[in-house]
């Protein structure tokens, strides 16, 4: 690995051990085995490093979990795929509890920083595109606009349900079957 990758790994390690607020640039550099100046060189600031490290770690973990569940729902209707996805999300949340807590802690910092919001905005567009591509692969009859809209809905639901899951770990706030019932009712069926 290079210094950049070492810093990302070091940041994830320190953040998972101490939380975002207690993770110092010095601690991250030490965990990465690089100089403190490497943070500025590769990321511009500790905050940008933290946002990227958490976005990568949690985005990959949740994204991979969602992708697997979407793939498992292939062959059925998109609505049945929605139910399957949301019935499987509590396990994905449980597998990523610490990263989700750190990400939630980081969101407050992001909201207060114009630079961090811009950085995250770029990553959100990529997440939407990835989910849309997964949906089109699982449900080839979906049009591009439909897949993008559903991908955005999935992302928003994952964020909201993830936060609620953190508040009441292990409790299913809204399972896939009730969510499908709600969507059918909204569609007038």
Residue 184 burial (CB < 10 Å; 0-12/13-18/19+)?
exposed
Query: What would the mean pLDDT of 56-63 be, rounded to a whole number?
Result: 76
The residue that leads in pLDDT, 161 or 98, is 161
Instruction: Report the chain's mean pLDDT, rounded to a whole number.
Output: 88
Query: What pLDDT sits at residue 39?
Result: 93
pLDDT at 144 over 70: yes
Query: What pLDDT sits at residue 173?
Result: 80
Which percentage of the chain shows pLDDT scores above 70? 98
pLDDT at 112 over 90: no
pLDDT at 181 over 90: yes
User: How far is residue 120's CA from residue 113's CA, in Å, rounded to a whole number?
Assistant: 11
Instruction: Output the six-digit token pair for 174.
Output: 């809204």
CA angle 180, 182, 183 (to 5 degrees): 65
**pLDDT confidence bin for 12, thresholds 50/70/90:** confident
Asked if residues 92 and 65 have their Cβ atoms less than 8 Å apart, the reply is yes
**pLDDT confidence bin for 139, thresholds 50/70/90:** very high
Q: What is the 3-state secondary structure (H, E, C) of the chain?
A: CCHHHHHHHHHHHHHHHHCCCCCCHHHHHHHHCCCCHHHHHHHCCHHHHHHHHHHHHHHHHHHHHHHHHHHHCCCCCHHHHHHHHHHHHHHHHHHCHHHHHHHHHHHHHHHCCHHHHHHHHHHHHHHHHHHHHHHHHHCCCCCHHHHHHHHHHHHHHHHHHHHHHHHCCCCCCCCHHHHHHHHHHHCCC
Query: What would the mean pLDDT of 10-23 be, rounded to a whole number?
Result: 87
The residue that leads in pLDDT, 128 or 52, is 128
Query: What would the mean pLDDT of 37-66 be, rounded to a whole number?
Result: 84
User: How far is residue 157's CA from residue 170's CA, in Å, rounded to a whole number?
Assistant: 17
**pLDDT confidence bin for 20, thresholds 50/70/90:** confident
pTM of model > 0.85: no
pLDDT at 120 over 80: no
Which residue in the block uniquely carries the two structure tokens 């609505």?
79
């Amino acid at each position: 690995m290079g210094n950049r990758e070492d810093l990302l790994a070091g940041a994830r390690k320190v953040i998972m051990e101490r939380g975002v607020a207690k993770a110092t640039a010095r601690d991250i550099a030490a965990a990465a085995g690089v100089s403190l100046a490497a943070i500025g060189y590769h990321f511009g600031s500790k905050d940008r490093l933290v946002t990227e490290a958490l976005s990568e770690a949690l985005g990959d973990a949740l994204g991979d979990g969602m992708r697997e569940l979407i793939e498992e729902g292939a062959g059925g209707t998109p609505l049945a795929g929605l139910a399957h996805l949301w019935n499987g999300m509590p396990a994905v949340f449980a597998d990523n509890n610490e990263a989700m807590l750190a990400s939630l802690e980081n969101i407050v910092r992001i909201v207060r920083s114009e630079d961090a919001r811009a950085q995250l905005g770029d990553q959100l567009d990529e997440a939407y595109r990835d989910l849309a591509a997964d949906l089109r692969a699982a449900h080839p009859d979906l049009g591009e606009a439909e897949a993008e809209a559903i991908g955005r809905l999935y992302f928003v639901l994952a964020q909201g349900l993830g936060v609620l899951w953190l508040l009441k770990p292990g409790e299913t706030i809204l399972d896939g079957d009730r969510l499908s019932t709600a969507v059918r009712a909204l569609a007038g069926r």
